[in-house]
Structure 1
Amino acid sequence: MILAVLFANTDGNILIERFHGVPAEERLHWRSFLVKLGAENLKGAKNEELFVASHKSVYIVYTILGDVCIYVVGKDEYDELALGEVIYAITSAVKDVCKSPITERHFLDRYGKVCLCLDEIVWKGYLENTDKDRVGRLIKLRPPIEP
Structure 2
Amino acid sequence: MLLAVLIANSEGNILVERFNGVPPEERLHWRSFLVKLGADNLRGVKNEELLVANHKSVYIVYTVLGDVSIFVVGKDEYDELALAEAIFVITAALKDVCGKPPTERLFLDKYGKICLCLDEIVWKGMLENTDKDRIKRLIRLKPPTEF
Class of the TM-score when normalised by the shorter of the 2 chains = over 0.9
Q: CA deviation at 1:141?
A: 2.7
Structure 2 residue aligned with 1:66:
66
Equivalents in 2 of 1:38, 1:97: separation in Å?
24
Any runs of at least 4 consecutive aligned residues in structure 1 with deviations exceeding 3 A, and if so which?
Answer: 142-147
Aligned ranges 1:1-147 → 2 under 5 Å: 1-142=1-142
Deviation at 1:102, TM superposition (A): 1.2
The number of equivalent residue pairs is 147
Q: Deviations over 1:68-126 (max 9, x none)?
A: 00000000000000000000000000000001341000000000000000000000000
Separation in 2 of the partners of 1:144 and 1:67? 34
Task: Give TM-score scaled by structure 2 length.
Answer: 0.96
* Percentage of identical aligned residues: 77
Distance 1:23 1:111 in 2: 25
3-state secondary structure, aligned to 1:77: coil
RMSD (Å), alpha carbons: 1.3
TM-score (structure 1 length as normaliser): 0.96
> Is this contact kept in 2: 1:42–1:64, CA < 8 A?
yes
**C-alpha deviations, 1:10-69, integer Å up to 9, x for none?**
100000000000000100000000000000110000000000000000000000000000
Contact 1:137–1:143 (Cα < 8 Å) also in 2: no
**Any stretches of 5+ residues in structure 2 without a counterpart?**
none
